[in-house]
Amino acid sequence: MTAAFALGPQLRDPIPELIPQTQATVALEEIATGLNAPVKGTFAPGDNKHLFVIEQTGPA
């Protein structure tokens, strides 16, 4: 048994074509610590000073 077979059928590539290069840049900034399972971040319309983070609760 091969590893691919053990993991199930192979899925199609969700991005079948090359993505063209651009001048876009990305930066990451830590905004919170102590979260165990954050699942979503959102904001209130018109409020760009607060970010609300939804965290999954339950046993880890």
Number of residues that this document lists for the chain: 60
C-alpha gyration radius of the chain = 19
Question: pLDDT tens-digit profile of 10-56?
Answer: 778 888 899 899 999 999 989 889 998 999 999 999 998 999 999 99
Question: pLDDT tens-digit profile of 16-29?
Answer: 899 899 999 999 98
DSSP string, 1-60: --HHHHT-SPPPPSS-SPPPP-S------------S-EEEEE--TT--S--EEEE--S--
Output the pTM of the full model: 0.46
